[in-house]
A and B are shown apart, each in its own frame.
Chain A
Amino acid sequence: MTDLPLLEIHDLRIASGASQLVGGVDLVLRRGESVGIVGESGSGKSLTCRSVLGIVPEGLEVSAARLAFQGTDLRSLSERAWRGVRGSRIGAVFQDPASYLNPSLTVGRQLAEVLRVKQGHTRGTARTEAIDLLDRLGLRDPARVFTRYPHELSGGMLQRVLIAVAIAEGPDLLIADEPTTALDATVQAEVLDVLADLRRSSGLTLLFVSHDLAVITQVCDRVLVMRDGVVVEEGAVTDVLRAPRHPYTQSLLAAHREYGLDRLRQQEVAHV
């Protein structure tokens, strides 16, 4: 059982009519692993993530040699069975957090409800736990945030609320698409710490999409580099980012050095 991969994707192909959007992706996640995906919009990374959640946009054709979560073929799930998997066992945090929350309920009520149903909290302990979770995600004055409606919060605050809801579900796998891109560095650090805590305490498995190679380095064990629907390079983060083989990965690293903190810090070291 422990040898069974948590997620297995073999030869995933997604097409829109004649044009191929994902052209044969393989990805196997073992329990507790953290894997990053790097690539630009249109590289197929978001579609790959969406296929794992069964939410590929209508009109696209999905095929795969294997698409399994904990040994269960995801394609065999009924819509009803999907509801027990999506959100619950496979959590997701996407950009545009406002569209994933109910605008007519306070964020506290939505979060506490999840904690009550999924973690067996009472109303009272759910509230305490929810506020604690918001606090750990770096939200200032979490008790006040708890009472707010989604439209009363900024994008960065909503993003953290959405992360809190996803975590509260207690998923085995969390798919996070640019979860910290809208956040400043101090808040990003809080969010990354909470994810690291969950990996240690509950063996959370992470599929983490980011354009920020430094964040990928901090969060992930392995990384996939995608371009034009295929994986062009894959390996341990330290290997791929220290010695990239594919020219596209090399160009990403060059751009990161040009517009990143590393260059300044290295110059600084050189000066000392």
Chain B
Amino acid sequence: MSDLIAELRDATVGYHRGTPVLKGVTLRIAPGESVGLIGETGSGKTTIARSLLGLTRVLAGEVAVDGRDLARLRGRSLRAFRREGVVQYVFQDPLRSLDPDIPVGDSVAEGLDVRGRLERSDRATRIADALHAVGLDPALAARRPGDISGGQRQRIALARALILEPRLLILDEPVSALDAANRVHVLDLLRLSAGERGFAQLFISHDLGSVAGVTDRIAVVYRGRIVEDGPTAQVLTRPQHPYTRLLVESAPTLDAAGADRAHRARLRAEIAEHSAA
């Protein structure tokens, strides 16, 4: 238990009222490990991520981060947990996560400011270092999110998360809105900074190529359950569960088209059988 940075143990999780979104999910993330979450829209990937930030309601089982049971944290202790910044989150659309009216430097430092006042020069140095670490010119600190490119904005979102030295970084479709060159920059940056700083990652994406490039392990989410969990290469080349096979085999590669209609229909039939069983 204590050697994990995050753990869902047989967790049934939902939101206020409403039916549970996750049904008995078990997922363990070790320090420094990069775990991919794949599965269709609405399957519960984002709810797993939100549960690790204490933004969901744990109905049964346990959700623990850094040794703390999040279901038991309420009010002040939950806010204190979030302020520590052990878990940081980067969204798909950086424009929505950055305040358009304030200079990006202030956005980057927001998490630090919440923790307490810093010396002005110390704060400026931290911002410059954070921007430098994501390959951006520290002079960008004075600009507003509206005047910079999407790729730069996503790197700023990353700088803003990393400045808090999180132990777990959650990335929810971080490169889906980016073009090819920026996608590679951001993915390279993630690999490099995870290697240097040793944070764990939970990487959510429908882009299997990105997941293949940055994760050690993949968990496959299907209708609120994890149906397969294994090393990245194994899940993507020898998928076991029929849903994983459908997802992975549908994706074309440079050398082969994706699974054809007939094959997909067979896999769907298998999924139905599996679910009934």
Contacts and interface: CB of A to CB of B under 8 A. Distances in A.
A143 interface: no
Interface residues of B, number: 40
Contacts of B255: 262, 265
A55 interface: no
Contact of A186 (B42, B150, B254, B264): B264
B252 A218 contact: yes
A211 interface: yes
A260 B253 contact: yes
Contacts of B252: 192, 214-215, 217-218
B272 interface: no
A40 B237 contact: no
A258 B233 contact: no
Contact of B258 (A218, A253, A258, A264): A218
A217 B213 contact: no
B182 interface: yes
A181 B209 CA distance: 12
Contacts of B248: 185, 261
B251 A185 contact: yes
Given A41-B150, A211-B180, A252-B180, A259 B254 contact: no
Contacts of A192: 252, 258
A260 B254 contact: yes
A40 B177 CA distance: 12
Given A40-B182, A185-B250, A193-B261, A258 B41 contact: no
A225 to B, nearest CB: 11
Contacts of B250: 185-186, 188-189
Given A189-B259, A260-B212, A265 B246 contact: no
Given A41-B179, A186-B264, A261 B184 contact: no
B181 A40 contact: yes
A192 B181 CA distance: 24
Nearest to A215: B252
B260 to A, nearest CB: 8
Contacts of A259: 183-184, 187, 209-210, 212-214
Interface in B40-88: 40-42
Interface in A40-93: 40-41
B258 A265 contact: no
A18 interface: no
A265 B259 CA distance: 15
Contacts of A99: none
Nearest to B258: A189
Dominant secondary structure of chain A at its interface with chain B = helix
Nearest to A189: B250
A108 interface: no
Contacts of A263: 212
B76 to A, nearest CB: 35
B197 interface: no
Contacts of A19: none
A267 B179 CA distance: 27
A268 B179 contact: no
Given A265-B253, A268-B237, A186 B180 contact: no
B233 A40 contact: no
A268 B258 contact: no
A103 B217 CA distance: 41
B238 interface: yes
Nearest to B246: A186
Nearest to A267: B233
B206 A183 contact: yes
A5 B170 CA distance: 49
Interface in B184-218: 184, 187, 206, 208-210, 212-214
A218 B253 CA distance: 8
A4 interface: no
Nearest to A255: B184
A154 interface: yes
Contacts of B182: 40
B236 interface: yes
Contacts of B209: 212, 214, 256, 259-261
> Lowest 7 A-B CB distances belong to which pairs?
A259-B213, A184-B206, A260-B209, A185-B251, A189-B250, A40-B179, A268-B237
Given A185-B250, A185-B258, A189-B259, 14 more contacts: A184-B206, A185-B206, A186-B247, A188-B250, A189-B251, A211-B179, A211-B180, A211-B183, A214-B254, A253-B254, A259-B210, A261-B236, A261-B253, A268-B233
12 contacts: A184-B247, A185-B206, A186-B250, A192-B252, A212-B209, A213-B254, A215-B252, A217-B252, A218-B258, A255-B181, A256-B254, A259-B214
